Amino acid sequence: MLTKQDIAELLQLSEWLELQPLRCASSGDIASLFPHLRNWTSSAWLAKRNLAKVIYYQNGYGWRLHRNYKSRLAKLTDEINHQGDRQNVRCI
pLDDT tens profile 41-81: 999 999 999 999 999 999 999 999 999 999 999 999 999 88
What amino acid occupies position 34? Answer: F
For 39, residues 6+ apart whose C-beta sits below 8 A from its C-beta are: 45
pLDDT on residue 85? 54
Task: Tell whether the model's pLDDT for residue 31 goes beyond 50.
Answer: yes
> Which residue, among 78, 67, 81, 58, has the nearest Cα to 14 in the 3D structure?
67
> Across residues 37-42, what is the average pLDDT?
94
What amino acid occupies position 47? Answer: A
pLDDT above 70 as % of the chain: 90
| Structural domain span for residue 54 | 4-91
Distance between CA 77 and CA 41 in Å, rounded?
21
pLDDT on residue 81? 86
Task: Provide the whole-model pTM.
Answer: 0.83
- Count the domains in the chain: 1
pLDDT on residue 28? 94
Would you tell me how many other CB atoms lie within 10 Å of the CB of residue 11? 16
- Phi, psi values for residue 25, rounded to 5°: -160, 155
